[in-house]
Chains A and B, each alone.
Chain A
Amino acid sequence: MSSSTLSPAPAGLKKRPGSKKRSWQGLLYATPTALFVTGLFVVPIIVVLIMSASDWSLLGGNKGTNFPKNYVDVLDHRMFWDAVLFTLKYTAIATILLIALGLGLALLVQESTRWKGLLRTTFLIPSALGLASASLLFYALYSPQVGPISAFFEKIGLTEGRVSVLGTPDGALWATVFLIVWRFAGFYMLLLLVGLQGIPGDVYEAARMDGASRLQVFGKITIPLLRPSLALSTIMCVTGSLLAFDQFYILTKGGPDGSTMTIVQLIYNLAFESKRDLGLAAALSVLTLLALILINMFQLRVLRGSDEK
């Protein structure tokens, strides 16, 4: 490369007196947050990365480097691919249902004139319940002995006698999906309702003046203008579903026959139940993290790409 001399900065870009002081002030303002993020976010990630490359048992501590064996062992684990496939299947089902239902409920509330407040509150009530509490509630509801659901099926003649809702792989999956839909549909309704209310009314008015049908308005105006809210909802829903734990831990314990074992359940299982191997669990955590980053980047590109062109 040829050497070059820097041309003097244009007069307009000259640093004004006091700007250095202000930048120090800015740094001071940002320091508490930076420390908070470092302590709660950066340090744990570094610990997990170190752990994932170490022979680190729960009871025996760190016994030295174990890279890449932890990663190889995780990929070879008898439950790994089943857990991955099940988690992806559950994520797809939960996301499609929750976003579709959330959007439907949001439109219902938006279009309602007399019952807007009542509907919004009613749909949102389940979201006030913690996921673990909701899971325990549904565990009781699904119980063949004391739960009303099994008794109801029997009464209306749908089943002969009491049925074990969680006793089959498909039953366990759909019963958990039903719980999640009940618990989160109102939450996603609220997110999308905010997006709907952010669409200017005159856009709809112009469309009506042009003679657009309801379906055309929904497809050509509502959905494109709702894209940021849909992107946020989808990313939250996908991330939450990929990290599903509480509901399956309480309702099915990964059963029957390991058919509802999610990735995070497997992480817990490797760390505290079966292998008691923190290195192995950390390796799976790192793989999960990488998968989440890739999936979310892809989603952002698809859902928001056109907005940023």
Chain B
Amino acid sequence: MKTSRALRSVAAVSAAVLMSAGLVACSSSDDKSSDNGNQPGTEISATGIDDGTELTMWTRAPLERQAKTLVEAYNKENKNQVKLEIIPNDDMEGKVGGAATNGDLPDLLAGDVVRLPNWVDNGLFTDITGQIDGLDFVSDIARGHLDAGTTTDGAKHTVPFVTDVSVMFWNKDLYREAGLDPEQGPKTMKEFQEHAQAIGDLKKDGVAGTYYGGNCGGCLLFTWFPTIWASGDEVLSADGTEALLAGDSAKELYTIYRELNEGGAVGVGSKEETGATWTAPFQEGKVGVMSYPNTMLSTVIEAGIDVGVGPIPGIDGGESTFLGGDAMGISKDSKNVEQAWHFLSWMLSEETQLNVVAQAGDVVSRVSLLDNEYSAKDPRTLAINKVVESGRTPVSVNFSEAFNAAGSPWITLFRNATFGDGATVDADNDAITEILSQ
């Protein structure tokens, strides 16, 4: 019978339907959001209110340690109490999206600086321009995280929460073995190439000159953009709608890595590295020199690696870094805006930055405090802190689609440029622009 056959066919795919539906289903609701998002002039006092309110906060799992340190210190010192919820990194976008639709966002919302422009653009945050500009140390706050939450009309929505910068790490033991000066990391990318090749030429089992996330868009914008900035070039146009990744310094950077690949100096896993294990080989003592996230310093030291730390250089000198990490703002759904601002202003204060953030070995968000008693104890920490001053954060609404997402045109560009012959850089750069300009 035809009908029963059709019914059986439908039944056979029911599981498939549920899975497909489950991927995208989310409850529809009326727009219950408050109208704080992107609305200027919400009246908040300079320091906010500390009256024993319970505040909710969301942050992503990679920053759990830093978030807990801050929240525990705040809850100890103040009447307001922050209830922290840690969200798995890959679930963050979906969770925030669902909550934004239903008006259920927490009071305090932290997000990756590269995602923030899109969040701000969608009105997820309360405009706190007046409060930020009212701080007597506003010019002292690291710019990148402020810029990420600033709209084109100048409205500010976020402040730095956790600063994660990219720096150059080198393994001093491998430097010694290769006859290199273990106290001098590369000052130019040409030197970087020489050092990496020298260590690769040792032909030690499982040891590579360098390593990179060859299938990880986020890893490489974090570690390669600084070289382009340090060389005096830009990666994006001022309005974030055009990619400038086919310039001279960018092409030289790709050439350096392509030649290192050809010379056998790049760790073999680089070609497939999705980012899941991109920091692991260095921690295992298997990599000579590579760009690396500063937040991994203590882990590397604990792993017994004699590590040198320096800024990421340009092709022929200079230095820069990618000011990554998370910025934080007050969500559009917060009913406790004054109390939430109290937390943010407390977090940015000199006492908190020194006695909580710096003491925990993290990078402070105030430029004048980068050279402090805690960072002075270890030249490596000081090197990390100093590079913040020259740091940048690129801002574009379609950033994730163009750079971070699986199969992004940025991944195509650097794979063709470093594993291929590098002949398609201009066309691949245009493909990035096509997405940025949508």
Contact = CB atoms under 8 A, between A and B. Distances in A.
Contacts of B270: 164
Nearest to A298: B9
Given A143-B269, A296-B9, A257 B21 contact: no
The A interface is mostly helix, strand or loop, or mixed, namely helix
Contacts of B8: 300
B26 A145 contact: no
B31 A61 contact: yes
Contacts of A253: 215-216, 274-275, 406
Interface in A214-259: 235, 239, 242-243, 252-258
A265 B90 CA distance: 13
Contact of B406 (A48, A265, A281, A282): A265
B252 to A, nearest CB: 23
Interface stretch (B49-57, B95-103, B151-159, B166-174): B95-103
Interface stretch (B223-231, B277-285, B302-310): B277-285
Interface in B375-402: 400-401
A50 B26 CA distance: 11
A271 B286 contact: no
A261 interface: yes
Contacts of B93: 58, 272-273, 276
A272 B94 contact: yes
B20 A243 contact: yes
Given A144-B269, A253-B215, A257-B407, A264 B23 contact: yes
B124 A59 contact: yes
A167 B418 CA distance: 13
B423 interface: no
Contact of B400 (A47, A239, A274): A274
Contact of B268 (A163, A261, A276): A163
A10 to B, nearest CB: 25
A289 B408 contact: no
A286 B21 CA distance: 9
B238 interface: no
A30 B402 CA distance: 51
A41 B267 contact: no
Given A41-B14, A285-B23, A300 B5 contact: yes
A289 B15 CA distance: 10
Contact of A252 (B1, B19, B123, B272): B272
A95 B121 CA distance: 45
A281 B23 contact: yes
A141 B271 CA distance: 16
B24 A239 contact: no
A164 B272 contact: yes
B272 A167 contact: yes
Q: Which of B16, B22, B28, B404 has the most CB of A within 10 A?
A: B16
Given A167-B272, A255-B274, A269-B406, A278 B26 contact: yes
Nearest to B412: A257
A45 interface: yes
Given A48-B25, A267-B20, A272-B93, A296 B12 contact: yes
B411 A257 contact: yes
A208 B258 CA distance: 67
Interface in A131-168: 139, 142-145, 150, 161-168
Interface in B103-152: 118-119, 122-124
Interface in B79-96: 90, 93-94, 96
A264 B23 CA distance: 9
B100 A59 contact: yes
The B interface is mostly helix, strand or loop, or mixed, namely helix
A207 B268 CA distance: 58
Given A61-B31, A258-B412, A296-B9, A48 B21 contact: yes
A111 interface: no
Given A61-B31, A274-B400, A256 B23 contact: no
A292 B13 contact: yes
A58 to B, nearest CB: 4
A252 B274 contact: yes
B5 A301 contact: yes
A62 B32 CA distance: 12
Given A145-B284, A261-B406, A301-B5, A48 B24 contact: yes
A79 B407 contact: yes
A297 interface: yes
A57 B406 contact: no
Contacts of B122: 57, 59-60
B206 A162 contact: yes
B301 interface: no
Contacts of A300: 5, 8-9, 12
B406 A44 contact: no
Contact of B20 (A48, A62, A166, A278): A48
Nearest to A167: B271
A145 B269 contact: yes
Contacts of A293: 9-10, 13
B28 A269 contact: no
A59 B96 contact: yes
Interface string B1-43: 1000110111011111111111111111101000000000000
B296 interface: no
Contacts of A89: none
Interface string A294-308: 001100110010001
B415 interface: yes
A123 interface: no
A139 B276 contact: yes
A51 interface: yes
A258 to B, nearest CB: 3
Interface of A: 40-41, 44-45, 47-48, 50-51, 57-62, 79, 139, 142-145, 150, 161-168, 172, 235, 239, 242-243, 252-258, 261, 264-265, 267-269, 271-276, 278, 281-282, 285-286, 288-289, 292-293, 296-297, 300-301, 304, 308
29 contacts: A44-B21, A47-B25, A47-B26, A47-B28, A48-B21, A59-B118, A59-B119, A60-B123, A145-B277, A145-B281, A239-B15, A252-B272, A254-B406, A257-B407, A257-B411, A261-B406, A267-B20, A269-B406, A272-B94, A273-B93, A273-B400, A274-B400, A274-B405, A274-B408, A288-B16, A296-B9, A297-B5, A300-B9, A300-B12
Interface of B: 1, 5-6, 8-10, 12-29, 31, 90, 93-94, 96-97, 100-101, 118-119, 122-124, 206, 214-216, 264, 267-272, 274-277, 280-281, 284, 286, 400-401, 404-408, 411-412, 415-416
Given A143-B269, A239-B15, 15 more contacts: A47-B28, A48-B20, A50-B28, A58-B94, A59-B122, A59-B124, A243-B16, A252-B274, A254-B407, A255-B272, A273-B405, A285-B20, A288-B20, A289-B16, A300-B12
